Structure 1
Amino acid sequence: MVPIRPLKIFYLQTDLEYPYIKERLQQLKFDDKSLELISKNLIITPKTSLLLNSQGVEEVKDIIAERLDVKTVDIIAIDTLRGVFDFNQYKGENSNSSMFCFLKDRVEKLRSITNPSCGIILTHNTNKVSKKSLVEEPFQNFSGA
């Protein structure tokens, strides 16, 4: 499946400093045409310590607005969910009801004030496990709800 136009992607990440992101992207060796498209359509934040609370939702919208029309963003990726999870408001990431409320109150709020049709990608770490355990019980190794 090929999109009819280049997708506008906002990647909010909480783990990597800018120099490491740059190094990783340079290893991908994009051609000039691709680099031009990427520079216009992909925003990757440097390491962010932003909580996705009511203020954080507005801050993310403002960060997107610095480079894109917020109503045209196609994909919002959040890496990692734990890095933006509001532990003060929601008891913990291991509670299904807390996670549901966080997704509804924060992630859906972000989508509604940007592009209600955009896709949301959330990453969530897995527990450190052996290869054997991963093969035998792949879904038992996720961390959180």
Structure 2
Amino acid sequence: MTECLFCAVIAGSTPAIVVHADDVAVAFLDTRPVFKGHVLVVPRQHVITLTDLPADRLGPFFTRVQAIAGAVEQGLDAGGTFVAMNNRISQSVAHLHVHVVPRRKGDGLRGFFWPRTTYADSAEAADYADRIRGRIGSWLS
């Protein structure tokens, strides 16, 4: 089997801008964000779909997703978040991942059309990550 891209991020062999990592999940900035601050949350265990995640890991994983959603809203002064996942169809990497996308009223996101943007440079991406990272502790304490 070819190594999974997200498993490589988890292992540290593929670079990513990580906003949170623990024994349950790793959360990092999407390299092709819908909006700046778009985070992917992946379980450390390689599973492809939500139904593959063992039931005893479901609660801890979604506790991390909840924390990231709160941190994205607070750290980026977002009005809300869009939280979504695909199972097989439209799943760009065959490893369970949850998208946490910052939202603002009038941001133009409609339906399931996901426009993509880029960061101006690595410093801008690092700034977004720092702002999110700085709020995660209040959600996981």
Normalising by structure 2, we get a TM-score of: 0.28
Query: Which structure dedicates a bigger proportion of its chain to strand?
Result: 2
Q: TM-score, normalised by structure 1?
A: 0.28
Which protein has greater RCO, CA pairs closer than 8 Å, 6+ apart? 2
Q: Which has the larger radius of gyration?
A: 1
